[in-house]
Amino acid sequence: MKTSEQKRILIVDDDESHSMMLCAALKKEGFQTEEAPDGQDAVQLVRERFYDLILLDLKMKHVGGIDALKEIKEISPSIPVILITAYASVKTAVEGMKLGLCDYLMKPVDIHELMSVIRKILYLEEERPETIPDLDQRNFDFSGIVGRDGKLKETLEIIKLVAPSDATVLILGESGTGKELIARAIYRNSLRSQSPFVALNCAALPENLLESELFGYEKGAFTGADGRKHGRFDQADGGTLFLDEIGDMSPVTQAKVLRVLQEGVFERLGGNRTIRTDVRLIAATNKDLAREVENGSFRSDLYFRLSVVPIHVPPLRERRADIPLLVEHFLRKYVEKNNRLIRGFTSEAIDLFCRYTWPGNVRELENMVERAVLLSRSTVIHTDVFPAPFRELAEGEPVPEETELMPVRPIREVERELIIRTLEHTGHNITHAAKLLGITRRGLQYKLKDLGLN
């Protein structure tokens, strides 16, 4: 394997100052560099000599990045190319992937991120390719969080600021956006990272069980309570407690959680001993808690206690340029898990992934990739492994341009249509339909009620 001093990188950019900046940064890291002011010059250089990697600008006066990429790949199909652009879009990402693009970065280029991507491609060091690179001296751990979208980066910047503190955090976002991943990132980068991380989904349990799960109980507290049980506040003492879907918690339990936040104490069910706990609380919900406060279903005092630092996780339809990266990430995960010999998806399959509006967000995308890996009969996954409702909806949606990142129809309308078609496809089998949609049976029943389909 070559050392970094032997690696030759071609920089293709008609912006002379930007090209000089990249050249200086790469030389400082020990790379050899050459420069080309236009795509046409780059193509000629590739014909004449070997390069380990090409940094290719998208917008140039004569021959642009995509046209140059086509010719470069015809000359040298295996050469890795990174697209650098101020105009990235889903359409650009999809077109580039079809042509064999390795990665793309947004201008102005972050040098730390650039070096991380280059080393990943050239195998100069082991690292997690899906994580957002560190932007300062501290090594933040964002493993599992895939993407470079601007909104996602804003979220990670907030995490960096809030993680070292003990502040309560409220994570807001639709189902399937990865709220627990955000919670775990806060925990991993906190001063409590060596203490327990305990998670509980408040929507998964009826009120009486939720209370006993949170606070525990003493022997004889109720029929079947044969001994003492330590609740989640006990288990998380000194660490972090993550309460998912806290908007589904009853007012009675809300009052008890508020007391823990205010005073740091609670009692187990059936007991009279006050127990002190030191817990950092992170909560999440897919509901509009401010509206829930207005209609009286959520306590205002608890809401203000929880939302010391609110973090909004963007839905997948608002960060579509990350879809190809997520597809690649989940493909590797499930190919390895299921020991399948699969190289990737066809360009038509990637097109469908990028057209679809993903009402189930990243969770739905992950389930779709896993299904495709399991059902594919070839080493390249074709569109025929996708459910018919998914193909029909995705094919009817155009790939968004730079100025069209929102769905062309209201998400509620798309969601309703998808659920109806999926139920028809499964013969109205709710369990099977929920699995295809990437949500729980209870979640689907809630959606049916909410959309007036029950």
Say whether domain 317-450 belongs to CATH 1.10.8.60: yes
Question: Percent of the chain beyond pLDDT 90?
Answer: 33
**Beta strands 32-36 and 309-312: pairing type?**
unpaired
Q: How far is CA 50 from CA 34, 54, 69, 208, in A?
A: 11, 10, 15, 69
Give the whole-angstrom CA distance, residue 12 versus residue 36: 5
How do beta strands 265-266 and 275-276 pair?
Answer: antiparallel
Q: Which residues are 231's β-sheet partners? A: none
What class does CATH assign to 4-122?
alpha beta
DSSP-derived pairing of the beta strands 240-244 and 280-285:
parallel
**Domains 4-122 and 150-312 alike in fold:** yes
All residues at 6 or more sequence positions from 172 whose CB lies less than 8 Å from its CB, including other chains: 284, 285, 286, 289, 310, 311, 312, 313
pLDDT bracket for residue 15 (50, 70, 90): confident
* Backbone φ, ψ for residue 55 (5° rounding): -100, 115
Residue 262, exposed/middle/buried by CB under 10 A (0-12, 13-18, 19+)? exposed
pLDDT in tens, 208-235: 889 999 999 888 777 777 888 899 999 9
When the candidates are 3.30.750.24, 3.30.420.310, 3.40.50.300, 3.30.200.20, the CATH number that belongs to 150-312 is 3.40.50.300
CB 238 within 8 A of CB 278: yes
Domain spans of the chain, in order of start: 4-122, 150-312, 317-450
Residue tagged 């013969």 (tokens): 427
Cβ-in-10-Å burial (0-12, 13-18, 19+) of 311 comes to buried
pTM above 0.75, yes or no: no
351-402 confidence digits (pLDDT tens): 889 889 999 999 999 999 999 999 999 888 999 999 888 888 877 765 554 4
